[in-house]
């Protein structure tokens, strides 16, 4: 039997780990069509906090592809100082039925109450741990089967950005992390869903881009690469994909914990 080489597979395209596609849909749609037309693509994976990125802005392009998989981030912090220009969770959750209808299968949607954050400013405390449980319960009731979360990484740039806005991060201690993950996992389990951790030390490795799952879900039964991706964090189990987008693409969402620089300037 001939050996299958990586080049024999259609590619998985990710839009995008590096920026919010809602604000760059026209440019990213053009790049996707030009560089990776439908004949070359197994699955388009979209990462967003805005359902309209898929349902409206990218839809004319995505409709031409055999399979679309969406990571929808709903931290529960939308509209708070942590995510000032992200829609409130209630508004985003309301779009899930339409999103599932577009994707054709609830298994092609993963909801991410991610990251888990706790901060304080004087006596004011903001934490999304309880909100994450509510997001999981509500989204699961709408048919979502898988979730991902992690704890905020307090990189120096994140601490500086929080401090500039008057906030101080409250670290999650190891025992607290275990308790929170156990409680959130139980919420998911009670609703017939699964909660995965994304690059959390001491927790099982998971795949946000899972070539085996994408193969199983593909409407034509086509296979894609299932080997581990290069260039990702050591605890990342994601399989091979190409990512469209750049960290230099401005994001007006204004999330204070953003790892990519948290650019909130106006788009050029």
d(CA 3, CA 6): 10
Q: CA 88, 151, 49 angle in degrees (round to 5)?
A: 30
> Which spans in the chain are helix H?
25-35, 52, 59-62, 89-93, 96-103, 129-141, 156-164, 174-190, 211-217
d(CA 100, CA 244): 23
CB-CB neighbours of 69 under 10 Å: 23
Among the residue ranges 150-154, 216-220, 228-232, 239-243, the one predicted with the least confidence is 228-232
Q: In what order do the strands lie in the sheet with 118-121?
A: 124-127, 118-121, 168-169
d(CA 190, CA 56): 33
Would you say domain 8-243 falls under CATH 3.40.367.20? no
d(CA 126, CA 117): 8
Can you give the pLDDT at residue 230?
77
Instruction: Identify the band that residue 264 occupies on the pLDDT scale cut at 50, 70 and 90.
Output: very low
Can you give the pLDDT at residue 120?
97
How confident is the prediction for the chain on average, in pLDDT?
92
Instruction: Identify the band that residue 206 occupies on the pLDDT scale cut at 50, 70 and 90.
Output: confident
Q: Is the pLDDT of residue 253 over 80?
A: yes
Can you give the pLDDT at residue 154?
93
Higher pLDDT, 230 or 185: 185
Residue spans per domain, the chain:
8-243
How much is the average pLDDT of 211-228?
96
The answer to whether 107 touches 93, Cβ cutoff 8 Å, is: no
Which sign, positive or negative, has the C-alpha torsion 171, 195, 101, 37?
A: positive
How much is the average pLDDT of 79-87?
96
Can you give the pLDDT at residue 6?
60
Count CA atoms within 13 Å of residue 205 on its CB side.
Answer: 11
- 99-134 pLDDT, tens digit per residue, is 999 999 999 999 999 999 999 999 999 999 999 999
How much is the average pLDDT of 206-211?
92
Q: Is the pLDDT of residue 205 over 90?
A: no
Q: Is the pLDDT of residue 143 over 90?
A: yes
Q: Is the pLDDT of residue 7 over 70?
A: no
Q: Is the pLDDT of residue 140 over 70?
A: yes
Q: Could you tell me the two tokens for 161?
A: 């950005």
Q: Is the pLDDT of residue 263 over 80?
A: no
- 28-74 pLDDT, tens digit per residue, is 999 999 999 999 999 999 999 999 999 999 999 999 999 999 999 99
d(CA 224, CA 242): 12
Can you give the pLDDT at residue 266?
34
Is the entire prediction scored with pTM above 0.85? yes
């Amino acid at each position: 039997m001939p050996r299958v080489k990586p080049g024999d597979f259609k590619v998985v395209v990710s839009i995008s780990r590096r920026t919010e596609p809602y604000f760059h849909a026209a440019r990213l749609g053009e790049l996707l069509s030009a560089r990776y037309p439908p004949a070359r693509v197994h699955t388009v994976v979209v990462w967003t906090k805005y359902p309209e990125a898929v349902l409206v802005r990218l839809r004319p392009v995505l409709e031409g592809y055999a399979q679309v998989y969406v990571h929808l981030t709903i931290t529960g912090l939308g509209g708070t100082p942590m995510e000032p220009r992200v829609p409130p969770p209630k508004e985003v959750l309301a779009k899930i039925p339409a999103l599932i209808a577009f994707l054709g299968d609830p298994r092609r949607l993963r909801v991410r109450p991610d990251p888990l954050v706790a901060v304080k400013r004087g006596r004011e405390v903001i934490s999304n741990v309880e909100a994450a449980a509510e997001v999981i319960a509500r989204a699961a009731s709408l048919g979502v089967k898988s979730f991902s979360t992690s704890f905020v990484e307090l990189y120096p740039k994140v601490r500086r950005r929080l401090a500039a806005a008057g906030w101080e991060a409250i670290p999650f201690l190891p025992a607290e992390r275990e308790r929170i993950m156990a409680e959130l996992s139980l919420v998911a389990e009670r609703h017939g869903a699964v909660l995965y951790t994304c690059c959390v030390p001491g927790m099982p490795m998971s795949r946000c881009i899972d070539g085996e799952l994408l193969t199983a879900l593909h409407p034509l039964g086509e296979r894609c690469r299932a080997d581990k991706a290069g260039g990702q964090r050591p605890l990342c189990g994601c399989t091979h994909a190409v990512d469209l987008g750049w960290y230099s693409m401005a994001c007006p969402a204004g999330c204070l914990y953003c790892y990519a620089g948290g650019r909130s300037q106006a788009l050029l």
